[in-house]
Every structure is written in C-alpha cells, then in structure tokens.
Structure 1
Amino acid sequence: MKGNAAKGKQKRGAQRRDALIQAAAALFWIKGYSGTSLADVAKTSGVPLGNLYYYYKTKADLALGVANFFVDETTQLIEAVSQEKSDPRERLRFLVERMRATQGKRLSYGCPISAACRDFRETAPEASARAGESFALLIAFIAQELAKTGRKPSVALVKARHVIAEWQGGIALAHGLQQPNVLAETYARMERTLSG
C-alpha cells in the first residue's frame, strides 16, 4: 500500500514539474523572461506558488528547466526524423517539413529557442547556453546527414550552419513583418540548399 502511495506522489510530482515547464516555456516565449513572474507561471500551470518553489528554487532554475525541455524536444525531433526515413536526403526533407509545421506560432512570437538564448543570458547564463545546444544539435544532425550524401565534412558543417541561420533569419523577418510568405520562402530555400 505504501508503495502505491509513493508511486502516486511521484507521478503527481512529475505532472506538476511538467506543467510548470510547459507554462514557463509558453510564458517566457510570449511575454518574455523578464515580463513573466513565478506567480504567472504558477497560475498558468495550476500549481500553487508555494509548491513551485519545491521544484524550482529560483527563476533561473526554471529557465534551465525550460532550456532542458528545448534540448529534449530537439533530440526527440531528430530521433523521430531518423526513425521515419533511412535515406539522408529524405531525412533532411522530412526535417524541414517538421520545422515548417511550427511556423504559425513562430510567425506570431518568433523562435522560442532564440528568445531563450537572448533573454536568459544575463540572469541565467547556464540556461542560455543550454538552450543554444538545441541549435548545435540541429547543426550536427544536418551536417552528419549531408556528409552521408558525399559532401566533405567541413562543407557539410558550413551548409548545416547556413540552413539554421536561414531558418532563424526567416523566423525573425517573418515575425517582424508579420508576413507568412517570408517563412514559406525560407523553407523553400532551406530545401534547395539541403538537396543541392
């Protein structure tokens, strides 16, 4: 009986932690890190403010949790793309398709990873660096797949960086201009770069 109670408590704890991270990620993205209070996160997550401190002692700790969430999401994306397709070119096309699927929110709010890197840097530098690892993972994956198509590793790395820079620039410009066609053009250029 005690074992079941302990498992139930652990499950509730994991659910609360997840709710806090989901709420913080959304609020930091939409309202900005400095514009979001821990009380905002608690209210949005449905977790009492006093309980929030049990999981995250400081806002910087919560920022690190959000950054870890971004890295986990990126890792899961790469794993899903790798399992879905076996051909490197098909994997890269599928990766761009998956990125394209998130364009609506990015048009509205910009890139959450980029925002985290920028917004966390001053008061939560560890979280800023950790969020940036999401970009490093994408670059490494793209470079690896490009190398499998016969490109030299150094050329593959430069192309991979170019693609991620294109993606981020397209998001920033589309968000700033509020023009969805800018992102559509960006994804088309990314596909051409990766297939050429």
Structure 2
Amino acid sequence: MTDSTKPRARAADKRRRLTTEAARVLYEQGVERTTLADIARAADVPVGNVYYYFKTKDELVLAALSEHSAHLDELTGRLDQLSDPRDRLKGLIEAWVAQREVAARYGCPTGTLAVELDKRADGTLDEKAGTVIRRLLEWAERQFRALDLPEPDDLAVTLVSSYQGMSLLANALRDPDIMARQGAHLLRWLDSLKVPDPAA
C-alpha cells in the first residue's frame, strides 16, 4: 500500500466503523437518546472526526438504515443459495428465531427504528426505514410466488407481520421464548401451505 492510499484506507475504516456502530447504538438506545458522541465512542473515533463523515445525526440514521439493508441483502443472498423456496423461507424464520435474545431486549432492528422515526415531526426518514421492510416483503413474495401459491403478496405480509408481532411481544414482555414458539408455529404454517389442485 502506498503512502497516498493509507489515509484513504484509514478514512474508509473510520467511516465503516461509524456506520456499523451507528446501526448498533441507534438500535439499542433509540434515535432520540443517542448522541453523535455515543456513536463516536462506540466506534473509537474522536467525536470531532464524526462531522467529517456525517454532518448530522440524520445522516448517521441513514447510514444505519443502509447497514440494516446490507444485513438483509447478506441474509437473503445466503438463503437464495438454497434450491427450494420453502427452505429459503424456513431459513429466514430460523434466522429470526436465532436472534430472539437480542429481539427480546430491543425489538426488530428495522421495525423499531421505523416506528420511532414515524413519530418525528419532519417525517422524512420513516420512508427510508419502510423501504428496508418493503425489500423484505418483496423477497418473501418472490419465494411464495416460486412455490406457485395463490396471493403471494398477502402471504408475504402474513409472514413479515408475524415476525414484527412476535418481536414486539418478545421485547415488551422481555421473553425470547415467544420468538421460539411463534417461529415453530410459522414453520408449521409454511409446511401447511399447498398449491391448490385445479381439478378440485
């Protein structure tokens, strides 16, 4: 690495750390309770340097939403390696259940952020959070469509809203077992879905 590329690499590393920690800290503390100093401290970056990369907290919120989107893409990308769409959907549910301890403490990362942003007066960032959830819905719909099931868009809404509901309840009651039980219920529901017999 040349001397001229080292500063760029260090800058990229700082930005990456800030983005990663913004996603985590905003998720754990919420937007209103989080300061730029909190994120700088978590990323081990001097607070004055934060303004070089992100001028406002809203820019950090956008970066956090991009991080959530990247995590979703990474998860669905792995699941897309499975040949059976039903197995992909089951893998999604299993990934949700695997995060039950974290969900019981903080809720769904994107869902809680979307709800919090919706309550803000400016109303600009809530649409960005909705975009991440919409991408999940579209991915789930493609799986149901690949299974030739009727009304795949409604099935996707049922699946994702079930996840949001079980995350909310697990968080409200601080009970990760809710996620485990509801996840098992969703897996049985998936197995029960059959392509209608046209001759029937």
Normalised to the residue count of structure 1, the TM-score between the two structures is 0.90
**Matching residue's letter, 2:133:** F
Q: Which residue is 1:94 aligned to?
A: 91
- Give how far 1:46 is off: 0.7
% same residue: 28
The 5 A counterparts of 1:9-20 are: 9-20=7-18
Choose 7-16 or 64-73, whichever is displaced more: 7-16
**Contact persistence 2:36–2:57 (CA under 8 A):** yes
Name the one with the larger helix percent: 1
Q: Which residue is 2:114 aligned to?
A: 117
Q: Which runs of 5+ in 2 are unaligned?
A: 194-200
C-alpha spacing 1:124/1:101, structure 2 compared with 1 (3 Å): farther
Per the alignment, in what secondary structure is the counterpart of residue 32 of structure 2?
A: coil
Q: Which runs of 5+ in 1 are unaligned?
A: none
Q: Is residue 163 of structure 1 aligned with residue 159 of structure 2? A: yes
Structure 2 Cα separation of the partners of residues 10 and 125 of structure 1: 35
- Give how far 1:117 is off: 1.0
Q: 1:63 aligns with which of 52, 61, 76?
A: 61
Q: Which residue is 1:144 aligned to?
A: 142
C-alpha spacing 1:120/1:5, structure 2 compared with 1 (3 Å): farther
- Give how far 1:4 is off: 1.5
Structure 2 Cα separation of the partners of residues 124 and 151 of structure 1: 40
**Contact persistence 1:28–1:36 (CA under 8 A):** yes
Per the alignment, in what secondary structure is the counterpart of residue 4 of structure 1?
A: coil
C-alpha spacing 1:72/1:127, structure 2 compared with 1 (3 Å): farther
**Contact persistence 1:20–1:41 (CA under 8 A):** yes
- Give how far 1:7 is off: 2.0
- Give how far 1:125 is off: 4.0
**Contact persistence 1:71–1:131 (CA under 8 A):** no
Normalised to the residue count of structure 2, the TM-score between the two structures is 0.89
Q: Is residue 108 of structure 1 aligned with residue 105 of structure 2? A: yes
Q: Which residue is 1:176 aligned to?
A: 172
Structure 2 Cα separation of the partners of residues 179 and 93 of structure 1: 22
Structure 1 Cα separation of the partners of residues 36 and 122 of structure 2: 15
RMSD: 1.6
Q: Is residue 31 of structure 1 aligned with residue 29 of structure 2? A: yes
**Contact persistence 2:103–2:176 (CA under 8 A):** no
C-alpha spacing 1:126/1:8, structure 2 compared with 1 (3 Å): farther
Structure 1 Cα separation of the partners of residues 4 and 122 of structure 2: 33
Q: Which residue is 2:2 aligned to?
A: 4
- Give how far 1:124 is off: 6.6
Per-residue CA deviations over 1:124-181 (Å, capped at 9, x if unaligned) read 74432222222111111111111111113xx111011011101010011111112222
How many residue pairs match? The answer is: 191
Q: Which residue is 2:186 aligned to?
A: 190
